[in-house]
Amino acid sequence: MRVEEREDPRIVEPTDAVIRLSAACVCGSDLWPYRGIAQVDGPAPMGHEYVGIVEEVGGDVRTVRPGQFVVGSFFASDNTCENCRAGYQSSCVHRVGIGGLGAQAQYLRVPLADGTLVATPEPPPDDLVPGLLAASDVLGTGWFAAVAAEVGPGRTVAVVGDGAVGLLGVLAAKHLGAERIIAMSRHADRQKLALGYGATDIVTERGDDGVGRIKDLTGGLGAHCVIEAVGTQESMMQAIHSTRPGGHVGYVGVAHDVALPGLELFYSHVHLHGGPAPVRRFLPELIDLIVERRIDPGKVFDLTLPLEQAAEGYKAMDERRAIKVLLQP
């Protein structure tokens, strides 16, 4: 991981915008290639979470204009195709991955700007920037997981994973009215943040022991809703086994080397839904909640570094010294 000078991005398509980043950050999914688990063929730009000021727009852009503060997400989407209109903008038929463009930078070209970017009512004060940056991915992803898990009033929710997404899944579950929220975490700092976001119980055990504890807390049945925010075989099975028959698993951990055993899934009777979060679906609502200071997702950033020290940011997250690292361009 190194920081290099690259040419400033320019408008390529008339539907593009170029933004000057106000803040960037490192995602848990950035650690997959960092750790060598996801294949990388050579030097590649990194980063897909971003907020910033619009510098320039292409000739066809209608809904955002230079000077606006905007929030995007990790897939650019037209927001007009049938998949987008169904609420699955991250499966937009014209989607473009932002990761390949590299949002850990000073400037970013955002394709399909009208469909992708959502402007705040006015440029936000500095203390709201981390929260808005969180909306770009980890909050939107935790929120989608909670919605996919059908969290609602009266429900008991378990959250597998205590990274930023899991912690913001706790926040989402609280906001969506969950009665009881069980955070699975072995780290004191993360437990504390989970409790601050609305967790009612902490389970420190993992795997079968963790499942046993969830069963103990739910009359032997399992949780109604389980948020899976890791993406390993163990975490997926922990989530499925922690869910009661007829309950819902919302999974957003990028599922590396996972194979779900069919017969076990069959007899579990759970609903399974997830995938790359359609963050764009939730952005208008999330921006409102942040700007109105009703939620404070920015607390997941517990280390702030200048962009030049991005390598140290990756290292700190890899070693779990930081929950999430904010990079200042």
What residues line the site for its own copies (CB under 8 A)? Answer: 82-83, 86-88, 90-91, 93, 219-221, 231, 233, 236, 244-246, 251, 254-263, 265-276
| Closer of 122 and 266 to its own copies (Cβ) | 266
Nearer to its own copies, 15 or 268 (CB): 268
> Counting Cβ atoms within 10 Å, is residue 258 exposed (0-12), middle (13-18) or buried (19+)?
middle
Name which of 104 and 235 has its Cβ closer to its own copies. Answer: 235
Pairing of strands 156-160, 96-97: unpaired
Q: Smallest gap, in angstroms, from Cβ of residue 175 to its own copies?
A: 22
Q: Is 281 helix (H, G, I), strand (E, B) or coil?
A: helix
Neighbours of 291 (CB within 10 A): 16
Residue (44 or 86) nearer to its own copies, CB: 86
Minimum CB distance to its own copies, residue 267 (Å)? 6
Smaller CB distance to its own copies: residue 100 or 261? Answer: 261
Q: How far is it, in rounded angstroms, from Cα 57 to Cα 69?
A: 13
Of 198 and 275, nearer to its own copies (C-beta) is 275
| Minimum separation from the CB atom of position 155 to its own copies (A) | 12
Q: Minimum CB separation from its own copies for residue 39, in Å?
A: 12
C-beta of 89: minimal distance to its own copies in Å? 10
User: DSSP code of 201?
Assistant: E
Phi then psi dihedrals of residue 133, to 5 deg: -65, -40
Compute CA 243 distance to the chain's CA centroid, rounded to the nearest angstrom. Answer: 22
For tokens 């032997």, name the residue.
220
Element containing residue 139 per DSSP (H, E): helix 138-148
**Which tokens in the block code for residue 56?**
């320039």
Parallel/antiparallel/unpaired status of strands 156-160 and 180-184: parallel
Q: Which of 322, 281, 299, 325 is nearest to 128 (CA)?
A: 299
